[in-house]
Amino acid sequence: MAKSYKIAVIPGDGTGPEVTAEAVKVLNAAAGKFGFKLDMTSFDFGGERYKRTGETLPDSAIEELRKFDSILLGAIGHPDVKPGILEKGILLKARFELDQYINLRPVRLYPGVETPIKGKGPDDIDFVVVRENTGDLYTGTGGFTMKGTPQEVAVQSAVYTRFQVDRCLKYAFEYTKKYGKKARGKGQNNTLALSGKTNVLTYVYDLWERAFHEMGQKQYPDIKREYYHVDATCMWFVKNPEWFDVIVTGNMFGDIITDLGAMIQGGMGIAAGGNINPEGVSMFEPIGGSAPKYTGQGVINPLAAICAGSMMLETLGEQKAATKIEDAVKFVTANKLKSLAAGKMGYSTSQVGDLVAGELAK
Ligand code: IPM
Ligand code: MN
């Protein structure tokens, strides 16, 4: 019998539903071609539901989502809802409650895509950021005292446990072993770089650095280890992106450097990520926002959502189908699209989905 996967689909807000529809189209085409089934169930979590019911992602929904093999998310963020409510209530809640402790964000420049970095091409911009996804400034540890007075104090702490750091590093080393540049026939070494700030954050990144070298020395002697301060990481992303292979970092720095990464790979139209629980239910998303101003116009680029779908299939173990989708996306960027920017692609959102699905069918 054909393998079947239960997928929860959360199209979300703004242009989320439009890009998700194209990802679903392409995923179904891949399933048909490679002989597996995707049993999809849609959920309406997002700004509209919150406005209607006051509910973000209730605990009962978390329990329900646990029963799926994977989750595909469009975008969260609504212009009428105060910033923070949906982000914390839906996106971060899912990441934390489902313990999706890895945020995997490939930074790959596909052929035909314009990068703002002069003189660099697809061979130069080809790395992956492994962002820790449960700790750091994101834990909400802290608070106010004397709020509203001139003496007000606000504290928000970067929190990491050795356990969190070790499990993230383990994933990053294993990922590097399997998908590093040497493993892919693209370099002399498989290299894992830690991006931190050991010169200032002398507790948190001291822990990361010790754990990094201990694990590397003992368990992964063949993987080359490098260290960069986070500010320097930004500098080298722009100047020498070809230096990077796999980068591991904490949650906050990972958030920041992957926006920079997204820009050098051609923008939010193409950047995808996975919130991964290697032992549980993972969630895949285009990393850009809901872009509400483009809602309903059919101009938003669905490739990031389609690439998120490809990452989902890879994590489910459908490697061939995942690679085929990525190859179809590369064909479309190289041969069809005028630009990746919303409204400038030369095609509508659904036409781009059709192009990828059509290429896939070949
Ligand atoms: C991201 C986003 C989120 C984050 C926001 C929306 C909470 O910026 O996925 O990178 O900070 O992680
Ligand atoms: Mn971000």
Q: How many angstroms separate the CA atoms of 53 and 129, rounded?
A: 37
Q: Reduced to 3 states, what is the DSSP secondary structure of residue 127?
A: strand
Ligand 1 near 289 CB (within 6 A):
no
In terms of domains, do 199 and 315 share one?
A: no
In terms of domains, do 149 and 245 share one?
A: yes
Name the residue at shortest CA distance from atom 7 of ligand 1: 87
How many alpha carbons lie under 13 Å from residue 230 in its C-beta half-sphere?
22
Ligand 1 near 87 CB (within 6 A):
yes
Cα-based distances in Å from 74 to 52, 69, 191 = 20, 17, 32
In terms of domains, do 101 and 140 share one?
A: no
Under the banding of pLDDT at 50, 70 and 90, the label for residue 1 is: confident
In terms of domains, do 284 and 260 share one?
A: no
User: Distance, CA 182 to ligand 1 centroid (Å)?
Assistant: 31
Ligand 1 near 256 CB (within 6 A):
no
Task: Encode pLDDT of 238-275 as tens digits.
Answer: 999 999 999 999 999 999 999 999 999 999 999 999 99
Q: How many angstroms separate the CA atoms of 245 and 232, rounded?
A: 16
Q: How many angstroms separate the CA atoms of 341 and 208, rounded?
A: 37
Contact 103, 276 (CB under 8 A): yes
Longest alpha-carbon distance in the chain: 68
Q: How many domains does the chain have?
A: 2
Contact 120, 85 (CB under 8 A): no
User: Distance, CA 218 to ligand 2 centroid (Å)?
Assistant: 33
Contact 77, 14 (CB under 8 A): yes
DSSP-derived secondary structure letter, 243:
G
Q: For residue 85, is it left (φ>0), alpha (ψ between -120 and 50) or beta? A: alpha
Task: Encode pLDDT of 60-88 as tens digits.
Answer: 999 999 999 999 999 999 999 999 999 99
Last residue of a domain, one of 265, 297, 331: 265
Torsions phi, psi for 116 (to 5 deg): -70, -5
Contact 175, 246 (CB under 8 A): yes
Name the residue at shortest CA distance from atom 6 of ligand 1: 87
Average pLDDT, the chain: 97
In terms of domains, do 171 and 195 share one?
A: yes
How many alpha carbons lie under 13 Å from residue 243 in its C-beta half-sphere?
15
Measured from the CA of 287, which atom of ligand 1 is nearest?
A: 9
Last residue of a domain, one of 265, 298, 319: 265
Provide the 10 A C-beta neighbour count for residue 354. 17
Write out the residue range of the structural domain in which residue 231 sits: 115-265
Contact 113, 333 (CB under 8 A): yes
User: Distance, CA 90 to ligand 1 centroid (Å)?
Assistant: 11
Measured from the CA of 258, which atom of ligand 1 is nearest?
A: 10
Task: Encode pLDDT of 319-348 as tens digits.
Answer: 999 999 999 999 999 999 999 999 999 999
Last residue of a domain, one of 242, 265, 288: 265
pTM over cut 0.95: yes
Q: What is the mean pLDDT of residues 148-165?
A: 98
Place of tokens 């646990």: 66
Ligand 1 near 283 CB (within 6 A):
no
Q: What is the mean pLDDT of residues 221-247?
A: 98
Q: Reduced to 3 states, what is the DSSP secondary structure of residue 210?
A: helix
Q: What is the mean pLDDT of residues 196-202?
A: 98
Cα-based distances in Å from 355 to 49, 287, 323, 327, 330 = 32, 22, 16, 12, 11
Measured from the CA of 285, which atom of ligand 1 is nearest?
A: 9
Task: Encode pLDDT of 118-139 as tens digits.
Answer: 999 999 999 999 999 999 999 9
Under the banding of pLDDT at 50, 70 and 90, the label for residue 2 is: confident
Ligand 1 near 128 CB (within 6 A):
no
